[in-house]
Amino acid sequence: MLLTITTTATPATDLGFLLHKHPDRVQEFDRSFGTATVFYPESGEGRCTAALLLEVDPIALVRSRGKNSPDFSLSQYVNDRPYAASSLLAVALGDVFRTARAGRCKARPDLPGRPMPLEIRLPALPCRGGPELAVRLFEPLGWAVEALAVPLDEGFPEWGESRYVRLTLSGTVRLADALNHLYVLLPVLDDGKHYWIAPDEVDKLVRAGEGWLYGHPERGLIMRRYLGRRWALARTALARLAELGDETEEQLEPAVDEDAAAGETAADEAAAAEAEAQGEAPEIQVSEGEGPEVKPKALNVRRREAVLETLEELGATSVLDLGCGQGELVGALLARPRFARVAGMDVSAMALTIAARKLKLDRMPDGKRARLTLFQGALTYTDKRLAGYDAAVLMEVIEHVDPPRLAALERVVFGNARPQHVLVTTPNIEYNPRYEFLTGLRHRDHRFEWTRAEFAAWAERVAEQYGYQVTYKPVGDDDPEVGPPTQMGVFTR
């Protein structure tokens, strides 16, 4: 089975730095189920392609499964595993490109944070749900998707289509994000993991899905398939993503009707019914009200509500969301008529594309559309478009900026744009030990996280330098020992 990743960024050979695999070398990696080989069919300044070839040993695969494999004895030896991209390829990709998936590059630390033009090809991919499901899973992530059904036999078209698709993804994406999309979604499309699903799969899903999975419109289907329809694990994963996710919706939705969408079999329907009867209903949701099933509001929802409440208290009518991401705050601002002018800026073109889709820009009423502006830009460069707003919001943004570049951000926002008010929220690192499952920072792209004292020292310096006063508000439960999970500074000129 084969996966190719092509870029036309200049210089395209930067792909080798990001993948930590030299274009002039062929590298082999032994795995329990076969051999993964990384090589470069082409490598030039204008175009570079990396290929991951996985050669599966069917006998080794059977041995690695052990005596408790549920497969029919013959199907353990005669199957599509050596030929079609599947959960096996996802495992190999996860191991071979582990550092690239984490967004680390010691030789060129500036590279992982840059989106780059990518084209990913998978010649044969099992897709239970057909090409339409592949589009539904990848398109919301900003990919242009070409999914073509592979015929059972090109010589006999009347036999119809197979369950395989030829998949091509195109987009301008960070390589780490692209690899994590594949790591999660290949097993979901395959819907046939080759290994036992243990609770540690939740950790893998949370790490790979952080920042995009919780806001995905098909998250229920993704989690159920990835975790083998083990509803308890899916609920645990969703709760953790809801707490840490940067881009979320107002509340958790029930799982989608996967049977209708992807053609589930009667056996699966019976299994789901049995699970429901045993109290493991497939709905993944958070209920409001009293009782043992109550779940607290996700921190990102409370953060957004705190920002909206503060903007209303300040009397702002025009608001600029700096680093708007996929547009959750922008959408909430547009829902309140008092905000007559709303703008969202982000450095990522893909994020703005997703924001436009989620905001239904093409179907937005003219009056509402006239209040909205979305544009691409960087917070470290002076931009005339940032001027003229009552308030600017930096919600969970500054911690993504390299510390040496913070001075440029301060100059652009507080020195040049100079809105009457600036709202800044950022994680309180003192609260991190309250997350039992968390190691390190809260997001792989965070360059730093501050204590309350460090945030106050930064805020006081900026306020004095640019002629502002600053007050502070806790966001989330204010722990008497470590403070709130999020800290907010409200600057007023």
pLDDT, block means (10 residues), the chain with 493 residues: 91 92 90 86 94 78 48 50 68 89 88 92 86 92 91 78 88 94 91 63 84 86 84 74 47 30 34 35 38 63 95 96 93 95 90 87 92 93 94 95 93 96 96 80 87 97 97 94 96 96
Report the alpha-carbon distance of residue 57 to residue 212 in Å, rounded: 34
Nearest to 324 by CA among 345, 296, 301, 293: 345
- Parallel/antiparallel/unpaired status of strands 391-395 and 318-322: parallel
Give the side-chain half-sphere CA count within 13 A for 59.
0
Report the alpha-carbon distance of residue 25 to residue 288 in Å, rounded: 56
Instruction: For residue 195, give every residue at least 6 positions away whose Cβ sits within 8 Å of its Cβ, in sequence order, or none.
Output: 64, 65, 87, 91
Instruction: For residue 178, give every residue at least 6 positions away whose Cβ sits within 8 Å of its Cβ, in sequence order, or none.
Output: 5, 118, 120, 169, 171
The residue type of 41 is P
What is the per-residue pLDDT for 206?
83
Report the alpha-carbon distance of residue 484 to residue 154 in Å, rounded: 62
Report the alpha-carbon distance of residue 74 to residue 87 in Å, rounded: 20
DSSP E strand stretches across 152-256:
161-173
How many residues in the chain?
Answer: 493
Nearest to 84 by CA among 137, 120, 122: 122
3-state helix, strand, coil in the chain (%, to 5): 40, 20, 40
- Helix or strand or coil: residue 122? strand
Nearest to 242 by CA among 184, 300, 305: 300
Report the alpha-carbon distance of residue 399 to residue 281 in Å, rounded: 38
Report the alpha-carbon distance of residue 291 to residue 285 in Å, rounded: 15
Are 263 and 128 in contact by the 8 Å Cβ rule? The answer is yes
What is the per-residue pLDDT for 70?
40
Radius of gyration of the chain from Cα atoms? 24
Torsion angle (degrees, nearest 10) of CA 379, 383, 384, 386: -10
Q: Where are the alpha helices (DSSP H) in 228-348?
A: 231-244, 258-262, 266-277, 299-314, 328-334
What is the per-residue pLDDT for 196?
56
Are 302 and 243 in contact by the 8 Å Cβ rule? The answer is no
CA angle, 485 then 411 then 458, to 5°: 35
